[in-house]
Amino acid sequence: MSVNKLALIRYKTIDTCLKNRYRKWTLEDLIEKVSDVLYESEGIASGVSRRTIQADIQLMRSDKLGYNAPIVVLNKKYYAYDDPAYSITNAPINDADVDKMKEIVGLLKQFNGFTYFDDMSDIIARLENNLYQSTHQSKNCIQFENNKQLKGLSFISPLYQAILHKRPLLIEYKSFKALQSQQQIYYPYLLKEYRNRWFLIAKSKKAATLLTLALDRIIDFQELTKEKFVEYDGIDFEKYYDDLLGVTKSANDRAQKVLLEVDKLHAPYILTKPLHHSQSVVAEKEQSIIIRIDVVLNFELEKEVLSFGECVKVLGPRLLASRIKRRLKKAAERYSDKLS
């Protein structure tokens, strides 16, 4: 049985109501609440009929969708869950759903070798692992990088919708350097992830340049329906970040030829996991290799080079080499007093 979006909204709204044990819910109350939610979320002003809500309750009680919701009527008037801890969001996936999802995962795996589907490899693995867990009592056989303490992840979905539908945003933002948060109007263009941290690429109404806002520094935001959206012309965001590591870049930045000398011991790590898709080996010595990457000089590149410590030396450009040298010197100075 296929379930459309409006039906799911109704089920979820009814579920939210019945989970609230501090209020008694009549059928009329449920109809009113569902009608309000449909108007707020979908703009449907016609409301919902008594027959529709009654049918929804019967369907939620049944096993057709796998809910088997313990909905009871108290005093022949008030609807409630017989089990206070129940929620349709906690309901397990039924066997039919699992079989269908297995078919979909199997189909996706067939495309795994094609270039177009390279980015889906980890998604397919996640689905397969979750499905195996739902049908077998066993330990995880695969673990993905995940930082559950990372802030701002809840903003991803609404920000994506704002970008998709070109909606200006009033964002309250507090950078690491700022003493207080500030509110500004932004036009959002892109969401980008780098090393498990998410960023919003946007333009402020007050400025002409692109800005990179870390989602974990966003305090709050709201859509401005009456504000006109301003496109950012002249940039193809599909290719904008091809020439850098990370997310720090201005519209005027251009890639530079970066030469790095890597000692033989650590060369395999960089060869098997390239720093950038432009990476190439330009020379091989007895105790080292020299690689080239064509990237913008930014903070993330410096952090990447510094992460290899004494195993990597910057040969060029001179500006990057001097920055790394200066930062390594400061790092060494932090240990000099304790070690002398």
**267-326 per-position pLDDT tens digit:** 999 999 999 999 999 999 999 999 999 999 999 999 999 999 999 999 999 999 999 999
Sign for the pseudo-dihedral over CA of 167, 172, 176, 178: positive
Whether residue 236 is predicted with pLDDT greater than 80 in this model: the reply is yes
Q: What is the DSSP string of 134-196?
A: HHS----S------TT-TTGGGHHHHHHHHHTT--EEEEE--SS-SS-EEEEEEEEEEEEETT
**43-72 per-position pLDDT tens digit:** 888 889 999 999 999 999 998 877 889 999
Cα 305 to Cα 293: distance, rounded to the nearest angstrom: 12
DSSP state of 294: E
Catalogue all structural domains in the chain, each as residue range(s) with its CATH number.
5-90 (1.10.10), 95-135 (no CATH), 153-223 (2.30.30), 256-339 (3.30.70)
Does residue 230 contact residue 265 with C-beta atoms inside 8 Å?
Answer: no
Specify the pTM.
0.60
Residue that the structure tokens 């309000």 belong to: 36
Looking at residue 208, what is its pLDDT? 86
Looking at residue 79, what is its pLDDT? 95
pLDDT higher for 33 or 101? 33
Looking at residue 66, what is its pLDDT? 77
Looking at residue 107, what is its pLDDT? 63
Looking at residue 150, what is its pLDDT? 75
Q: What is the mean pLDDT of the chain?
A: 86
**166-189 per-position pLDDT tens digit:** 999 999 999 888 889 999 999 999
- Residue 339 confidence class, pLDDT cut points 50, 70, 90: low
Region 332-340: mean pLDDT is 74
Residue 187: name the closest of 223, 151, 218 by CA. 223
